[in-house]
Structure 1
C-alpha cells in the first residue's frame, strides 16, 4: 500500500484518487482552492443556479465505469442523468434552423433533409460513416491506452478516410476539418455545423486535422447528457465517492514544489511551509504549474509530446430571465456567426482579438432546481475567446446577449440581470495560464494536438487531467484518471482497458 499525494481536485484527479483508493492505497488530495471539481463550478444568486464550466456530458460510460469500479452504487443512483433530445439546435446565418435528435444517425439525416435538403443530408450521412471509421481507428490509442512510446505514429497517421478531391488536374484529400467541409460537405451550413464541434474546444478548423471528425461522431453515436441539478452534481458525486473510499482532502492547501529523494518523487512542499511525504505524486495541474512544481520534469522518454500551451478560453454570460422556459425549447442551441472567416481570423489570427460577430452556444436546461420558481429561467451563453484576453468584458457580454437573442425570443425584455465569467475567473479556478481550456487529443497534424504522457521523467510523478493524455473534456478527464490508476496499480506494462 503506497502513500499517494494528488495535486488538485479537478475531475481527472478525483477519478484517479477514487480508483487508487479502492485499490488499497492511502490517497490524500491537496487543492489550493476551497472546493473540488476544477472547472465544474456553480454560481448561485437569488434562487438562480448556473454551471460555469462544461454544461453537458458526452460519453457518460466513462463515469459509469468509474462508479462501477469504485463502489456498489452505480452512477445513476448518485446523480440523475437525463438524455438531451434534441441533442442540439442550430441557427444558421440565413435563418435556417435545424434540430438534431440524440443518438440517431437516421434521425439526424432526416432532420437535415427537412432543413437543408436531400443532397446536404446525404453528404452529412456519408461523412458520419467516414467519421465512424476514424473513431474506430483512433479510439484505443487516443482514449483507452497510455500514450504510445512511438507516439509519432499517431502524429503522422491520419485516421480519417477522406474522399479524393480533384481540382485543376490535381487530386488531393482533406487534411483539415475546414477542407472536409469545403470538399466533402459543400454546403456552408453543413460546414458551420462541422466546424462548430472544433470551435467549441477552441480549435481553429483551418488547422485542426480531419481526425477531429470524431468529435461530432461521438455526439451522434453516444449521445449528449445532462445531470439534473446542474453538472456540478457530477463533481459532487465523484467527490463523495472519494470520501466513501477514504480519500483525504486538504482544501486551501497549495502545493509549491514536488519533493525529490533518491531520484524519485517523495511528496509535496506546501505553501504554508509544511511537507506532505508520499511514495507517489499525481499532478492534476496545468503545464505552467507543473513547471514550477517540478522544474525540468518532462514526459517520459526522449522526444516526448510537448505540453500544449496558449489554448483558447471561454467567456460565459449567466442570464436570469423572467418568464418560464417555453415547452419544446431545446436544451442547447448553437447560433452560428454571420461571418465565419472574420471570426476565425479574430480568434486565431496573428493579431488575436474578440470577434465582432461570434458563434455562441445557448444552454437552457429544463431543470426546476436552477430557478427560484416556474416563472423564471436560467440561461447560459458561452463563446470562445483567446486565452489571456482582457476584454472589455461588459461590452462584449452585450455582443453575446445580442447573438443569443436569435435563439431566445424577447431575451432583453425578459432579462432580470446577468453576470459575466471571464478567462481570469477560469484561471483562478483551474490555475491554467490565461484561463486556457484544454482540447481533447487528436491524431495527425504532426502530434500538435496530442498531450503529454501520464508518466514523467521523474519516477513516481504522474500527470492527470485535461492537460495530459488523453486531453480535455469531461470524458477525457475521467479516462486520464483510469489510465493513471492503471499505470500505478499494474505498472508500466499496463495497456489500458480491454
Structure 2
C-alpha cells in the first residue's frame, strides 16, 4: 500500500483521507492551520456557539455513504441529525410572507398559492419538475463520476440540461436562471425565491445557467438537515473517523509546493524547506493563481438576551427590496451601500446558547469578494453589518434592543483562514454555460496529483465536497478507469 500526502484538512480532503485509509493506504494530512474542517468552523464566546461556515446540511446521503464505507458507526450514530421544518420562511418588502414545509411538494404549492396568489404554487411546481429532469440527466456525469476528458462528454455537460417548456409556447431552453424566472414564474416574489437559492451559492442569476434550478429542487426534494450543536459537529465526527482509521494529522504544517520527480508527484515541500515523500498527493488547497474570486459570505453572530420564541422558523430569508441594487453590489462594480438579502438562522438548540434566557442568532449575506470591496475596512464592515441588522428586524422584531454583543466575519477573514482567493465560496458545478460552470478535474495534469474540495470537480457545497473525496479515493484505489460508485 502507498504513502499518501493530503494537503489541507477541509471536508473534501478528510473525506478522501478516510476512504483511502480504509483501503489500506498510509495517509497523512498536512494542515497549515491549527484545526480541521476548513470553512466548517466554530466560534464560541460566553456560552454562545456559532457555525462560521455552512449552517445546514443538504443531500445527507453523501455523508451517510461516507460513514458506512469507513466504519461501524453510521452518520446518525455519529451526530445528532434532524430535519428542519419549515425548511425556510420568506419575507418581502411588500409584506408578503410564507413558510415552505420541508420536503413536501404539495405543502409548498399550498403555501405559495395562499401567499402569492392562485396558480403561483403550480407555476413553481412545474419549474421544479423540469429541474428534476435536469437533475436526472446530469446527476451521474456531473456529480458521481470523474469529470470526463472525452470531448463529446464534456460538450454534453457544456449544454444546459434544463428542458424546454412544453405546450403552446415551447422554445429552446432559456440561457439563464433569470430568463427562467421571467418566462415561467412571472412574479417578482417567486423570482426572488428562485434566485435566492443561486445567490446563496454565490451565483449571479443573470448569468447562471437555467440548470441552477436544480438547487431549489434538491432542497425541496431531499430536505434541509440540522446537526445538533451546529454543523461543526459533522467536521468533528469526520475528523474522529479519520483518526480511528489511523489517518495522521499534522497541524501548523504549511505546504509550499508539490515535489515532482520523473514526471509525477513524489511528495510535498513545506515552507521551511523540508520534504515528505509520498506516492500520491491529494490537495484540497485552492489554487490562488488560477481560481477566480467568487463572491463570499458576510456573517454576523448575535448574542441576544431573551428566550427564543416558540414556533419561529429555523431559517428565514429576508429578501432585498431592490434586486437590481443587490446584484450590482455583489457581482458588478457597485459598492456595498445597499440593503442585502439576509438569511436569519435561529436554531432551537440548547447547546448553542448559555441558558434558556438567551438566544444565538446568525445573519448571513452573499457579498462581493475581498479585493473588489475592502472588507478589512472597519467602517465599511460596520456599516454593512448595521444594514444586515436593520433587515433582520423584519424576522426578529425588537432585535436591536436584545443584542448583548455581535461578532462579524467577512470574506477577508475567510481568505485568511482558508486561503480561498478573495474569501470566495465556490458554487456547485452546473451543466450549461458552455462549460464555464464546471471545475478542474480531480486528476491533475501531473501524474499522481489529485484535487479535492470545493475548487475541484464537482464544485462547492458541503455535499459536493464529500463527493469529491469519494471520486479522488476511487481514482487512486482503482486507477484512471474508475467511473464512480455503482
How is 1:320-469 mapped onto 2 (pairs within 5 angstroms)?
320-349=303-332, 351-388=333-370, 389-391=373-375, 392-469=380-457
Shift in Å at residue 375 of structure 1? 0.4
| Distance in structure 1 (CA, Å) of the matches to 2:346 and 2:443 | 40
| Distance in structure 2 (CA, Å) of the matches to 1:421 and 1:84 | 25
| Distance in structure 1 (CA, Å) of the matches to 2:232 and 2:314 | 17
Question: Which stretch of the first structure deviates more once superposed, 246-255 or 402-411?
Answer: 402-411
Unaligned runs of 5+ in 1: 292-306
**Match of 2:144?**
144
Unaligned runs of 5+ in 2: none
Q: In the alignment, is the contact (CA less than 8 A) between 1:287 and 1:309 conserved in 2?
A: no
Q: In the alignment, is the contact (CA less than 8 A) between 1:164 and 1:172 conserved in 2?
A: no
| Distance in structure 1 (CA, Å) of the matches to 2:29 and 2:109 | 46
| Distance in structure 2 (CA, Å) of the matches to 1:340 and 1:259 | 48
- Offset from partner CA, 1:71-120 (integer Å, 9 cap, x none): 00101111000100000001012111110011111111111112112211
Is the aligned partner of 1:181 residue 2:181?
Answer: yes
| Distance in structure 2 (CA, Å) of the matches to 1:79 and 1:318 | 23
Question: Which stretch of the first structure deviates more once superposed, 473-482 or 107-116?
Answer: 107-116
Is the aligned partner of 1:161 residue 2:163?
Answer: yes
Question: Which stretch of the first structure deviates more once superposed, 321-330 or 172-181?
Answer: 172-181
Shift in Å at residue 357 of structure 1? 1.2
**Match of 1:91?**
91
| Distance in structure 1 (CA, Å) of the matches to 2:253 and 2:272 | 8
Is the aligned partner of 1:190 residue 2:169?
Answer: no
Shift in Å at residue 125 of structure 1? 1.1
Q: In the alignment, is the contact (CA less than 8 A) between 1:103 and 1:221 conserved in 2?
A: yes
Q: In the alignment, is the contact (CA less than 8 A) between 1:331 and 1:366 conserved in 2?
A: yes
- Offset from partner CA, 1:196-233 (integer Å, 9 cap, x none): 00000111100000000100000011000010011100
Q: In the alignment, is the contact (CA less than 8 A) between 2:160 and 2:173 conserved in 1?
A: no
Shift in Å at residue 496 of structure 1? 0.5
Shift in Å at residue 273 of structure 1? 2.5
Q: In the alignment, is the contact (CA less than 8 A) between 1:131 and 1:160 conserved in 2?
A: yes
| Distance in structure 2 (CA, Å) of the matches to 1:153 and 1:104 | 35
- Offset from partner CA, 1:415-472 (integer Å, 9 cap, x none): 1110110111101211112101111000010111100000011000000000000000
154 and 363 in structure 1: CA distance in 2 versus 1, 3 angstrom threshold: farther
| Distance in structure 2 (CA, Å) of the matches to 1:26 and 1:373 | 44
Shift in Å at residue 283 of structure 1? 0.2
Shift in Å at residue 308 of structure 1? 4.4
RMSD between aligned alpha carbons? 1.4
| Distance in structure 2 (CA, Å) of the matches to 1:309 and 1:435 | 11
Shift in Å at residue 237 of structure 1? 0.1
**Match of 1:312?**
295
Shift in Å at residue 238 of structure 1? 0.2
| Distance in structure 1 (CA, Å) of the matches to 2:428 and 2:110 | 29
| Distance in structure 2 (CA, Å) of the matches to 1:166 and 1:447 | 30
219 and 254 in structure 1: CA distance in 2 versus 1, 3 angstrom threshold: same
| Distance in structure 1 (CA, Å) of the matches to 2:462 and 2:440 | 18
| Distance in structure 2 (CA, Å) of the matches to 1:143 and 1:171 | 28
- Offset from partner CA, 1:35-89 (integer Å, 9 cap, x none): 0000001100111001110000000000000000000010111100010000000
Determine helix, strand or coil for the equivalent of 1:58.
coil
Determine helix, strand or coil for the equivalent of 2:204.
coil
| Distance in structure 2 (CA, Å) of the matches to 1:430 and 1:410 | 35
**Match of 1:473?**
461
Q: In the alignment, is the contact (CA less than 8 A) between 2:164 and 2:172 conserved in 1?
A: no
138 and 308 in structure 1: CA distance in 2 versus 1, 3 angstrom threshold: farther
**Match of 1:277?**
277
Q: In the alignment, is the contact (CA less than 8 A) between 1:154 and 1:447 conserved in 2?
A: no
| Distance in structure 2 (CA, Å) of the matches to 1:110 and 1:15 | 39
Shift in Å at residue 272 of structure 1? 2.5
Shift in Å at residue 171 of structure 1? 5.5
Shift in Å at residue 355 of structure 1? 4.8
Determine helix, strand or coil for the equivalent of 1:56.
coil
Shift in Å at residue 6 of structure 1? 0.1
Question: Which stretch of the first structure deviates more once superposed, 419-428 or 24-33?
Answer: 419-428
**Match of 1:63?**
63
Q: In the alignment, is the contact (CA less than 8 A) between 1:155 and 1:448 conserved in 2?
A: no
| Distance in structure 2 (CA, Å) of the matches to 1:195 and 1:184 | 13
Is the aligned partner of 1:106 residue 2:106?
Answer: yes
Aligned pair count reads: 478
| Distance in structure 1 (CA, Å) of the matches to 2:174 and 2:462 | 29
Shift in Å at residue 165 of structure 1? 9.9
Q: In the alignment, is the contact (CA less than 8 A) between 1:30 and 1:253 conserved in 2?
A: yes
- Offset from partner CA, 1:11-50 (integer Å, 9 cap, x none): 0000000000000000000000000000001100111001
How is 1:238-249 mapped onto 2 (pairs within 5 angstroms)?
238-249=238-249
Structure 1 moving runs of 4+ over 3 Å = 164-167, 170-173
Q: TM-score, with normalisation over the residues of structure 1? A: 0.94
| Distance in structure 1 (CA, Å) of the matches to 2:291 and 2:320 | 27
